Amino acid sequence: MKELKWLFITLIVLILLIISIILTKVKIFFYYYHNNDNDHLKIEFKAWFGLIKYKKEIPLIKIDDHSPSIVTKGTKAFGPLGGTEKKDTNQYSAKDLLNSLQDTKELLTHVVSLHRIVRNFLKSISIKEFSWHTMIGIGDAAYTGMLTGAFWALKGSVIGLISHYMKLKAVPAITITPQFQFAVSQTVISCIIQFRIGHAMVAGIKLIKYWKGGMASFKTKPLSALSNDKTKSV
């Protein structure tokens, strides 16, 4: 009788744990800074009020001086309170970039049929904050004015897509500052998005069912390993 009681308690605890995971909200902080040849990208994931944290930073993107490839250097922080940090350096050759483009095309071909799944998941995403500030100039007043108008049209289209597919909870902060005297290219994008793990799990299950028996053929290592995985879904 006592064993049955402990089994019942364990089952209740497991059910409560699964429910708490499903209902957990994940916040993603995205920050991108571009100033001429200087680029910085930071993505941070937080859950359970910051007790679980993962951060990825790419503060430098440049062309390798000794080979036709792009070098990125960054740091990773993960674990409870982001206590563990790891530095990494990656190098991508021209062949890797071409393979990535080919994989992107292959992926988009398959994703076209996934519009309903992706759209349903996007509806569950909330945009808590969004800001996009740009300073542009090419040294010519007339062309700078035309470029400024084009950027306003671009930003308006992006905000329209975001508000159409996701829940925009805050008024976007968008500015464009033209510089007519000198050439400059500076952009700062930051946003906070939030969704529940349960919604991501449902979307993942639907994706697994969709990909079953029809995996795309990828060339890059991470995606090719995924496409060659023959594990059967339950």
How is residue 155 written in tokens? 């930003």
Residue 193 has pLDDT above 60, yes or no: yes
- 67-75: long-range contacts (C-beta < 8 A, 24 or more apart)? 67/91, 67/93, 68/93, 68/94, 69/93, 69/94, 69/96, 70/97, 74/41
Sequence ranges of the domains in the chain: 127-188
Say what the pLDDT of residue 101 is. Answer: 63
Contact 24, 201 (CB under 8 A): no
Model pLDDT for residues 81-99, shown as the tens digit of each residue: 555 555 555 555 556 656 6
Name the DSSP class of 192. E
Q: Determine what percent of the chain is predicted with pLDDT higher than 70.
A: 65
Global pTM?
0.63
Say what the pLDDT of residue 153 is. Answer: 92
Say what the pLDDT of residue 202 is. Answer: 86
Residue 29 has pLDDT above 90, yes or no: yes
Q: Determine what percent of the chain is predicted with pLDDT higher than 90.
A: 20
Say what the pLDDT of residue 36 is. Answer: 77
Across the range 40-54, mean pLDDT stands at 85
Say what the pLDDT of residue 223 is. Answer: 45
- Residue (of 140, 224, 212) closest to 182 by Cα position: 140
Name the DSSP class of 114. G
3-state helix, strand, coil in the chain (%, to 5): 40, 40, 20
